[in-house]
Amino acid sequence: MTDTKTPASEVAALQPSPKGLGVLKAAFHERRTLAMLLLGFSAGLPFAMLFGTLNAWLSDAGVSVATIGILSWVGLFGAFKFLWSPSVGLTPPIIGKMGRRRSWLILCQVVVVGALLTIALSHPGTGAIALLAGAAALGAFASATQDIVIDTWRIEVADERVPVDLLSTVYQLGFRTAALIGGAGALVLADTLGWSTTFVIGAGLMGLGLLGTLIAPEPKPAPKQAIARERIGSPRLRMIALAATLLAWAWAAFMLIRFMVTALSVTPAPSAGEFTATWGPWIVGGAVILPAALAGLIVWRGGKTGPVQAERDAPPFLNTLYDAILAPLVELMGRLGWGAIIVLGLILTYRITDGVWGPFAFPFYMGDTGGALGHTKTEVALASKTFGVVMTILGIGLGGWALLVIGRMASLLLGAALSAATNLLMMDLALGAPVIHGFMQVSGLYKLFGLFHVGEPLARLMLAIAGENIAGGFAGAAFVAYLSALSNKMFGAVQFAVFTSLALLIGTLGRGALGELIERQGYAAMFVIAAWLGVIAVVFCAMEWVRLTAERRSLNLKA
């Protein structure tokens, strides 16, 4: 006789997990998916408003390029957010009853709203922009912190029913939609309603993020015993490694603060891009690579022997610091072993094929030398900031479909190959578009674009951007899914922040040399180099796929 009182949780556990596109169907019944979409929007909107639209307002108000350059350093918060990522492991006071993750999200979102409203009430054209600069800096810091919490939440709530691959894709869709609204959409609003009203509307749209936070379920915190399990090896070695890491992080923070003070007090102000290119690799080396190497040393010397003398091996305060800062890296190095070299190579090279030539995109589109295309600002805005963003969203959707159908590593490898190959489209444009021109003539695409009154030169640019952005969106969805799956649920905040910082900063290497190469040989040579850099990422993806396959087989044999 059937027991009619079987708990619902046990019944759900007996049901087979959805596979392939069945995951997508199951996800429509999950509030986590809707929350992820809204939180992705909440992450993308301040990014677009503070790092793009605000500069457009300042330029329109007649603010000097030097002053706009000063404000560009607020983007550094996103590049170096791993420095304060351990702090989100604490529970904020007062609103902490809502849960650790949700309370941080609300706190960050309220600060972003306040920053956008403060910017809306400022008057940059009068020359008094100190208040605006402070609000932009505070908003950028809160936005970067919100990114840490959202990434951690995504990793912690994922399961077989709503896998991290799907949540990563939904996040990207929300982010890019917000980027379109906060970028091109904000410029349209500013023409009709004015800049101040546009930023007030932006602050109001952050309410979607607050709604996402209220919908989002609070993840269960990791057991303290599980975190303390990473206290391996001798207490002395752990404390030496912790001290070295804290010194490296203090130096990195000093460098950032010194640059910000210099940017606000010296004329002409230094460039945030030059600072990142010059000091970014050193900061990453000291604040990420060095602690990771020390964590590897702890694993090598200590082995997986569990905690040593529990709480007696070091003062509780130092144990807490170790658990927050070094334990995530110790867990990662212990899990990956020598495979960490492959993982590090993959992270450093995967998006470099796009990132390395990013600063040269607009000079290529609008310049008139070295194979540049000579388009107008309006044409580039249509092709890159509107049509291009839509194509990126399309690529993200295709990436999410591929993750569910062909799997994570196959999607990651395909994304790397597409990103490398589409650089050849840009190379063809720089050489006069012989291939693209012939293809568009034969396929009738010129006639299709002509229906929308788009001339042949702009049509060629839009086709190349379509290929580039679809590939970028596809690769971005696969990459975020891979990094999310690579992060341990107990240590997602620090691990994912380190991963993304590495991926973001590596693109700054070699840009100075590329600029000189463009002056000597033109843009086509740059795109050839970018394509070859993409091939390196393809090789690392293949190696990582082999490593994971071997690891899975080893676990199956042990089972």
Shared domain for 310 and 390, answered yes or no, is: no
Radius of gyration for the alpha carbons in the chain, expressed in angstroms and rounded: 24
Query: Which of 221, 252, 287 is a domain's end point?
Result: 221
What DSSP element (H or E) covers 175? helix 164-180
Residue 501 domain flag:
yes
Shared domain for 216 and 232, answered yes or no, is: no
Shared domain for 207 and 259, answered yes or no, is: no
Residue 233 domain flag:
yes
| Inter-residue contact 535 to 303 (CB < 8 Å) | no
Residue 247 domain flag:
yes
**Domain ranges, residue 462:** 356-551
Residue 172 domain flag:
yes
Shared domain for 231 and 215, answered yes or no, is: no
Task: Check whether the bond before 124 is cis (ω within 30° of 0).
Answer: no
Query: Which of 221, 237, 272 is a domain's end point?
Result: 221
Shared domain for 34 and 118, answered yes or no, is: yes
Residue ranges of the chain with per-residue pLDDT less than 70: 1-28, 65-66, 69-70, 125-128, 264-273, 303-313, 359, 505-515, 559
Q: What is the pTM of this model?
A: 0.84
Residues 81-95: tens digit of each pLDDT: 888 888 888 888 878
Shared domain for 324 and 416, answered yes or no, is: no
- The pLDDT of residue 510 is 55
Query: Which of 163, 188, 221 is a domain's end point?
Result: 221
Shared domain for 370 and 491, answered yes or no, is: yes
- The pLDDT of residue 7 is 41
Residue 323 domain flag:
yes
Distance between CA atoms of residues 261 and 259, nearest Å: 6
Residue 349 domain flag:
no
- The pLDDT of residue 65 is 66
Residue 4 domain flag:
no
Shared domain for 516 and 419, answered yes or no, is: yes
Shared domain for 203 and 265, answered yes or no, is: no
The domain that holds 547 is classified in CATH as 1.20.1250.20
Shared domain for 432 and 327, answered yes or no, is: no
Residue 515: CA atoms inside 13 Å, Cβ hemisphere, count? 11
Residue 138 domain flag:
yes
Shared domain for 272 and 375, answered yes or no, is: no
- The pLDDT of residue 58 is 83
Specify burial of residue 8 (Cβ count, 10 A radius: 0-12, 13-18, 19+).
Answer: exposed
> Counting every residue, how long is the chain?
559
> Could you give the number of structural domains in the chain?
3
Residues 129-175: tens digit of each pLDDT: 778 888 998 999 999 999 999 999 999 998 888 888 889 999 999 99
- The pLDDT of residue 13 is 39
Shared domain for 421 and 477, answered yes or no, is: yes
